[in-house]
């Protein structure tokens, strides 16, 4: 006998709703239709019996439509005439999201009969993820090897409390499991069904009967959501009867406004969309009366729900990225996929995320959130790749998987959220230094924002997650705490980008509205006036100023900022200032290599220091450093951004400023360090060249480890410093940095620097007493010369007080008319010469005229006691 239990004769969807089937008519293909692996089932003596192939590992399934969800009782009879195991069991689906209950993407609730523990248990399945135990039944319940008879009853209340009961005689004297948990994960269903797996001898040993699904509870109104100013979505806890749910008089707003239209949504029969003839007031309360579910259960009412405001487009500071999972390996507990967490910071607004774009600065590819995307006040969502959504789905968690989800750099990236209209909503430029934990920096842990009210902050407001799983996707951050911004912004520097454009750089993100006030900016008189101020998106740490007349090249000027306000509202004091000048093209020799560390200590990094020895302001933008010759040449661009060196200014270029600071804590200048990649520097010798943006060589220094002071215990971590800025880029104009300053001076005046001598003397020696102990004070003697005409060949030899040859410094070399020769106190054998008086014999010979001159200069090699 087969029948449906009709509670309301006129319900058009009754054939898909509440059901009862005892297979007494000998058929399972109609009234109601069970579909799936129909050829592998049959009805025997009024019972549904498995009849599949005798092949181990076979999986079968049948299902029939049913929309019942909450306030429902499911009941069925079964007999498994076999010994249950992990390969011999049956799953009876109470609520399934797909008619093929074996589909990997199916989700819902099912009762498992058998398994390794020979039990009756209630499970939940979340799409492609592993099953979750809701009620763990008593082990050994189905312990027979030939006759596991049981009748099951499962109840789910409208409060989502579950009860699992069983009668092992097949009758209705039920015994309940002690656990009665609450689980509200799934509120919708399309089918009930059975799924089997068995070994070859058990193909016909599964029997089922007396399926009954009963809903005798009226529907509940869960919430009301504004679609727009004249439409509301009324959400019930179960599928609704269109006949009663579309009766207009069954609804009214608390202020008396009634709808002019009502429709049950085809995509979700638990939602009724109401349309009003005029804009409704908000806030408001909706009342519903005399509405019925699909099974005829009427809620007399009134049912009420406070109106959730209509979703609005987010504004800056309302939609935030609050968690970044950029390095997913090694796994700590999170899925092996990158994700971002996005948060609605507004306490009252429902945000419409439709059209919101997520991207990286410098990339044209963006991920666009779907038009249906919404975030309630204070709600989080996970955003990940389109193929990773199932990895993050979990009860109560909202997940979006747009195409073109950006690849997140492990070391850092600049991420931007933009509205549909292209306006910047949020920007963050993160770095792996933000973890503040070397272990977590290596992967498996997310970066979390500390204080969402301090969303403009950078490194100070982010840190590694402390959650045992490695992160908190879709929920409040584990590190959340008060971390207010109370610091006002400062003006860091100013750069002339062109004759009429000056860019001001600030220490933190500015309030873009106040930063656009041009009266806040002025140039020192008689400079041009500021005609326009435009904050630079997306991070608003810079402001571009347009001038009403052009700047003159290389003329020093000063930008003054009356006040600056960050996006947290902190205002700076008046008249911050920064100098700048309009740069001009560099000529060969204007910029020179001033210091080079090519053999750093183990674990350290090299650096190259560049000096502007011209009277020009010169920008390093697109300039290059190159090392090597021919096919072995290694070349790197110094910076793609404007970076101006004023006359006499120097900068040390290195891939890691933090390591430089740690290696030379007292002899570096942080303001003169520029982080950039360097060409490969051989630790023995190289040909280092400085090129402008067009590849023109400005300077070349052929370094060699033999240029170092031979008395050094080690050359590791010791730089070669230029002695005279005006001198040539040759080995005799470089010397090992002094030990007294830590053996290098990145970004600071060279420890071995000398000024060119003054006066008209032809030959001079400075100092008259020198002490070659590498302390940075009189470490070498310099023979300065000024010749009356070019063309001389020069030899310079050093003799001790007894006339013995100590060192040949120069042998028949043609020299320029002005220059110097250096003696570092080392003899021809590479040993330090003894303390005492020495004579520098200088022989000049001009082949063209046959003229020969000879000079003697004395110097004292001393020692400190």
Could you give the CA distance from residue 323 to residue 397 in angstroms, rounded to a whole number? Answer: 15
> pLDDT tens digits, residue range 624-640?
999 987 667 899 999 99
* Strands of 311-361, DSSP E: 319-325, 339-344, 351-352, 357-360
Reduced to 3 states (helix: H, G, I; strand: E, B; else coil), residue 86 is coil
Angle at 626 between CA 625 and CA 632, to 5 degrees: 160
Tokens of 596: 């080079």
CA 532 to each of CA 22, 379, 515, 578, 832: distance values in angstroms, whole numbers, following the listed order: 82, 39, 11, 18, 65
Task: Report strand pairing: 557-561 vs 542-547.
Answer: unpaired
Q: Side-chain half-sphere of 402: how many Cα atoms within 13 Å?
A: 24
CA 288 to each of CA 235, 275, 309: distance values in angstroms, whole numbers, following the listed order: 11, 14, 18
pLDDT of residue 13: 37
Q: Domain 591-741: which topology? A: Immunoglobulin-like (2.60.40)
pLDDT of residue 229: 84
Could you give the CA distance from residue 65 to residue 49 in angstroms, rounded to a whole number? Answer: 20
Q: Side-chain half-sphere of 292: how many Cα atoms within 13 Å?
A: 18
Work out the number of other CB atoms within 10 angstroms of the CB of residue 838. 21
Domain 319-464 belongs in CATH node 2.60.40.1260: yes
Tokens of 637: 């661009």
Phi, psi of 672 (to 5 degrees): -110, 25
Q: Domain 491-580: which topology? A: Immunoglobulin-like (2.60.40)
Helix (H) or strand (E) segment spanning residue 660: helix 657-663
Would you say 260 and 279 are in contact if contact means Cβ atoms under 8 Å apart?
Answer: no
> Which of 796, 625, 547, 589 shows the shortest CA–CA distance to 699?
589
Residue segments in the chain with a per-residue pLDDT below the cut of 50: 1-17, 759
Reduced to 3 states (helix: H, G, I; strand: E, B; else coil), residue 351 is strand
Q: Side-chain half-sphere of 419: how many Cα atoms within 13 Å?
A: 14
Reduced to 3 states (helix: H, G, I; strand: E, B; else coil), residue 682 is coil
Domain ranges of the chain: 2-215, 222-308, 319-464, 491-580, 591-741, 763-861
Report percent pLDDT > 70 for the chain. Answer: 96
Give burial (CB, 10 Å; 0-12/13-18/19+) of 784.
buried
pLDDT of residue 443: 96
Q: Considering just the CA atoms, what is the radius of gyration of the chain in Å?
A: 41
pLDDT of residue 813: 82
How distant is the alpha carbon of residue 234 from its chain centre?
38
- The yes-or-no answer to whether 319-464 and 763-861 have a common fold is yes
Work out the number of other CB atoms within 10 angstroms of the CB of residue 481. 9
pLDDT of residue 82: 97
CA 249 to each of CA 265, 457, 743, 766: distance values in angstroms, whole numbers, following the listed order: 19, 53, 89, 106
Q: Is the dihedral of CA 411, 417, 423, 427 positive or negative?
A: negative
pLDDT of residue 761: 54
256-294 b/e with 16+ CB inside 10 Å = b? ebebeebebeeebbbbbbbebeeebeeebebebbebbbb
Q: Domain 2-215: which topology? A: Jelly Rolls (2.60.120)
* Residue 515 per-residue DSSP state: H
Domain 763-861 belongs in CATH node 2.60.40.4070: yes
Would you say 223 and 121 are in contact if contact means Cβ atoms under 8 Å apart?
Answer: no
Q: Domain 222-308: which topology? A: Immunoglobulin-like (2.60.40)
CA 127 to each of CA 130, 384, 391, 835: distance values in angstroms, whole numbers, following the listed order: 8, 17, 9, 86
């Amino acid at each position: 006998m087969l029948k449906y239990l009709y509670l309301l004769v006129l319900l058009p969807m009754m054939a898909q709703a509440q059901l009862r089937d005892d297979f007494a008519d000998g058929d399972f293909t109609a009234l109601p239709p069970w579909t799936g692996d129909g050829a592998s089932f049959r009805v025997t003596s009024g019972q549904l019996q498995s009849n599949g192939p005798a092949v181990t590992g076979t999986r079968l399934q049948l299902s029939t439509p049913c929309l019942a969800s909450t306030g429902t009782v499911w009941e069925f009879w079964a007999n498994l005439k076999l010994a249950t195991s992990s390969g011999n069991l049956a799953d009876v689906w109470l609520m399934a999201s797909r008619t093929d209950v074996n589909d990997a993407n199916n989700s819902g609730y099912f009762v498992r009969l058998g398994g390794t523990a020979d039990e009756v248990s209630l499970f939940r399945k979340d799409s492609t993820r592993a099953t979750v135990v809701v009620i763990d039944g008593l082990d050994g319940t189905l312990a027979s090897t030939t006759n596991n008879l049981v009748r099951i009853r499962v109840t789910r209340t409208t409060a989502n409390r579950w009860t699992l009961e069983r009668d092992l005689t097949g009758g209705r004297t039920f015994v309940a499991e002690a656990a009665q948990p609450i689980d509200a994960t799934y509120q919708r269903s399309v089918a009930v069904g059975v799924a089997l797996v068995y070994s070859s001898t058990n193909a016909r040993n599964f029997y089922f009967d007396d399926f009954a699904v009963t809903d005798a509870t009226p529907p509940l109104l869960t919430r009301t959501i504004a679609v727009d100013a004249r439409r509301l979505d009324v959400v019930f806890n179960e599928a609704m009867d269109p006949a009663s749910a579309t009766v207009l008089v069954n609804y009214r707003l608390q202020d008396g406004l009634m709808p002019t239209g009502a429709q049950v949504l085809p995509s979700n029969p638990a939602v009724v969309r109401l349309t009003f003839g005029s804009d409704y007031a908000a806030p408001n309360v909706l009342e519903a009366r005399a509405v019925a579910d699909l099974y005829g259960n009427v809620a007399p009412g009134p049912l009420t729900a406070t109106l959730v405001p209509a979703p609005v487009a987010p504004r800056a500071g309302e939609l935030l990225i609050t968690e970044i999972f950029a390095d997913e390996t090694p796994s700590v507990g999170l899925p092996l996929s990158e994700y971002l967490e996005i948060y609605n910071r507004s306490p009252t607004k429902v945000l419409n995320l439709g059209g919101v774009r997520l991207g990286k600065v410098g990339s044209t590819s963006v991920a666009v959130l779907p038009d249906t995307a919404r975030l309630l006040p204070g709600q989080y969502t996970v955003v990940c790749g389109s193929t990773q959504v199932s990895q993050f789905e979990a009860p109560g968690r909202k997940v979006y998987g747009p195409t073109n989800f950006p690849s997140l750099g492990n070391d850092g990236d600049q991420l931007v959220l933009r509205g549909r209209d292209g306006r910047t909503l949020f920007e963050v430029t993160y770095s792996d230094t933000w973890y503040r934990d070397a272990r977590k920096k290596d992967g498996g842990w997310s970066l979390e924002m500390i204080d969402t009210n301090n969303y403009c902050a950078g490194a100070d407001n982010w840190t590694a997650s402390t959650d045992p799983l490695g992160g908190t996707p879709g929920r409040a951050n584990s590190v959340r705490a008060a971390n207010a911004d109370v610091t006002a912004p400062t003006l860091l520097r100013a750069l002339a980008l062109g004759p009429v454009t000056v860019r001001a750089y600030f220490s933190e993100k500015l309030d873009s509205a106040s930063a656009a006030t041009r009266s806040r900016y002025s140039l020192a008189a008689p400079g041009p006036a500021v005609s326009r101020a435009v904050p630079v998106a997306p991070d608003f740490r810079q402001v571009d100023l347009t001038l009403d007349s052009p700047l003159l090249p290389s003329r020093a000027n000063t930008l003054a900022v009356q006040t600056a306000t960050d996006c947290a509202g902190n205002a700076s004091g008046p008249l911050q200032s920064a100098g700048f000048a309009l740069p001009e093209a560099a000529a060969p020799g204007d910029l020179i290599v001033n210091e080079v560390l090519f053999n750093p200590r183990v674990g350290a990094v090299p650096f190259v220091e560049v000096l502007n020895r011209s009277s020009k302001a010169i920008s390093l933008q697109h300039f290059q450093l190159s090392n090597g010759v021919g096919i072995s040449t290694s070349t790197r661009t110094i910076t793609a951004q404007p970076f101006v060196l004023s006359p006499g200014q120097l900068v040390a270029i290195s891939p890691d400023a933090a390591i430089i600071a740690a290696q030379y804590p007292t002899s570096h200048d942080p303001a003169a360090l520029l982080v950039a990649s360097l060409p490969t520097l051989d630790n023995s010798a190289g040909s280092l060249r400085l090129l402008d943006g067009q590849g023109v060589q400005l300077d070349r220094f052929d370094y060699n480890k033999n240029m170092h002071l031979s008395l050094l215990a080690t050359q590791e971590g010791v730089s070669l410093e230029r002695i005279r800025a005006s001198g040539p880029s040759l080995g005799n104009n470089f010397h090992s940095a002094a030990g007294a300053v830590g053996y290098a001076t990145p970004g600071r005046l060279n420890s071995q620097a000398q000024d060119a001598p003054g006066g008209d003397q032809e030959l001079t020696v400075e100092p008259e007493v020198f002490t070659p102990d590498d302390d940075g004070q009189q470490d070498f003697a310099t023979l300065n010369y000024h010749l009356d005409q070019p063309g001389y060949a020069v030899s310079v030899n050093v003799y001790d007080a007894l006339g013995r040859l100590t060192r040949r410094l120069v042998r028949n070399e043609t020299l320029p008319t002005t220059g110097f020769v250096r003696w570092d106190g080392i003899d021809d054998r590479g040993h330090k010469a003894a303390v005492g008086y020495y004579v520098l014999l200088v022989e000049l010979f001009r082949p063209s005229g046959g003229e020969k001159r000879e000079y003697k200069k004395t110097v004292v090699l001393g020692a400190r006691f």
